[in-house]
Amino acid sequence: MSDTINEIRMQVMWNRLISVVEEQAMTLLRTAFSTSVREAGDLSAGVFDPQGRMLAQAVTGTPGHVNTMAEAVLHFMAEIPREVMFPGDTYVTNDPWKGTGHLHDITMVSPSFLDGELVGFFACTAHVVDVGGRGFGADGKSVYEEGIQIPIMKFAERGVVNRDLVRLLRANVREPNQVVGDFYSLAACNDVGHRRLVDMMREIGLSTLASLGEFIFSRTQAATLARIQALPEGRWSNELLTDGYDTPVKLAATITVDDDRVNVDFTGTDGVSRWGINVPLIYTKAYACYALKCVVAPDIPNNWASLSFFTASSPVNILNAERPAPVSLRHVIGHMVPDLVLGALAKALPGRILAEGAAALWNIHISARPVADGDGRRAEILMFNSGGMGARPTLDGLSATAFPSGVMTMPVEATEHTGPIVVWRKELRPDSGGDGEFRGGLGQILEIEALPGHEFDFSAMFDRINHPARGREGGGEGAAGVVALDDGTKLKPKGWQHVPAGRRLVLKMPGGGGYGDPARRKADARRDDTVKGYVTGTPT
């Protein structure tokens, strides 16, 4: 009976720990200055043991942030020795190779002390609107052009903020109040987690997290291992073409399943690009692991033990770009990694894997300003938008859904509030989902114009324009994306471009691929598509 009671007690404490990191994440969500965090949830939060192993993560957050953060804490521990860690400390970096893959993501780590003893770490990550340099875009030729670089260092020591770092930030970014505000929000987020953890440990009577950590890791490890051992052993490969910057980029992956491990190797992928679409391996691995876990162990908690079974390897290429490669838009190619990995896994597990989708977010960074010699507002505006997901083996694809990133779409009202623009149109894009027994999800149509007396430049960060999402098991392709002005002028899928006053930018986002033979789609499903306007028979 005592063993049973102890099991129940440990499970209650595990749930309590998850509630701690959820409150940590909600603090960041509610206090952040950037709309990408506040409105879209582009963040992560988690708690780690004294060895830097992730115990629990908040549900709110993206795989690219959470899974890179799981490795980033170890980099912080390697740079900052235990003897110079103190209560009230907060550490920071935006190093793409030790953090989350590009300079726009700020990662903060804070040690948590109880009665003078180190009991764990809290970590969090958020995307800030500006880090200086060329701005959020693919035009840089090296990471040195892409913004201010912050090596792993102390943001605060013993509760005292590093004012010199704050001054450097203000001198290097276009939106200093917003960026510095986000830094304080990140630090506060970790502080809330620390205070809640200490309260929990005092209430329960714990002096360390060792026993709870052992309970979490042993249960998670056993459950994940059982799932892996149920997989067929072998090797399966897949290739995928993306638009690249000015020429297509081939991605290649080979999955190897052994008795106790799944490895993804990216040999065969095209080399490092001269443009800012390269991906550090830490980010590639994050999304490869996410894709595997979605299929192999979707219901098992994401922590150090479950992630340890999934590994990634690669020679130097666009998915394993080394410093000083430009990496600002690492998410565009990085978000293609799950479709690449799932395509290989579909050969091992036929009938279980969804079709390809839009994958990469259709982010847009707008730099708005008054026309020459005019009065008005200047602003840096970031919007997250999504195309359609691929159809599933038994269900239609989800429309306008951010898979694999999981971020939320920003409300139009919140976006318009941040700068002098109007979003005239935001709606589902008819006929964009690939045909099949199960239809692919629809993309969106978005029209944006500057307010009278204003114009704007924008950074295009788009893909699936020349290489639409492929269907699976006989399903049709999703519609390709389109970037144009309202007069029909076609624009590039990537890079900074200009929209003159009085013109509208029109984005038609790609749809997901279909699943299964279209001849098998049920008649009532086709009628429903027509009634709802999802399918009109008119090209879009």
Q: Give the pair of three-digit tokens for residue 249.
A: 């980029």
> How does the average pLDDT of the chain come out, rounded?
95
For residue 259, what pLDDT band results from cuts at 50, 70 and 90?
confident
Q: Please compute the mean of the pLDDT values over residues 121-150 and round it to a whole number.
A: 94
Q: How confident is the model at residue 540 (pLDDT cuts 50, 70, 90)?
A: low
Q: What is the mean pLDDT of residues 437-448?
A: 98
C-alpha to C-alpha distance for 98 and 330, rounded to whole angstroms: 14
Q: Return the residue matching tokens 């987020």.
A: 189
pLDDT recorded at residue 1 = 46
Domain residue limits, the chain: 2-208, 232-352, 354-540
| pLDDT at 448 exceeding the cut of 80 | yes
Q: Which residue has the tokens 């990191």?
A: 21
Q: Cβ(328)–Cβ(103) under 8 Å?
A: yes
* pLDDT tens digits, 79-116: 999 999 999 999 999 999 999 999 999 999 999 999 99
Structure tokens at 488: 């029909």
Q: Which pLDDT band holds residue 349 (cuts at 50, 70, 90)?
A: very high
Record the pTM: 0.95
Residue 35, pLDDT score: 82
The pLDDT > 90 percentage for the chain reads 88
Element (H, E) at 238: strand 234-242
Please tell me the distance from the alpha carbon of residue 17 to that of residue 11, in angstroms, as a whole number.
10
pLDDT tier at 280, thresholds 50, 70, 90: very high
In the three-class reduction of DSSP (H, G, I as helix; E, B as strand; rest coil), residue 341 is classed as: helix
* Neighbouring residues of 215: CB distance < 8 A, sequence distance ≥ 6: 10, 14
8 A C-beta contact, residue 119 and residue 113: yes
pLDDT in tens, 61-70: 789 889 999 9
pLDDT at 312 over 90: yes
CB neighbours of residue 57 within 10 Å: 26
CA pair distance 2, 131, nearest whole angstrom:
55
Alpha helices for 154-260 (secondary structure H): 163-172, 176-204, 210-229
pLDDT in tens, 177-229: 999 999 999 999 999 999 999 999 999 999 999 999 999 999 999 999 999 99
Residues of the chain with pLDDT > 70, as a percent, come to 99
Residue 135 reports pLDDT greater than 90 = no
5 half-sphere exposure, CB direction, 13 A CA radius: 2
Decide if 162 contacts 154 (C-beta within 8 A): yes
Mean pLDDT of 369-393: 91
The tens digit of pLDDT for each residue in 450-478 reads 999 999 999 999 999 999 999 999 999 99
Report the C-alpha gap between 80 and 103 in whole angstroms: 20
Is residue 539 pLDDT above 70, yes or no? no
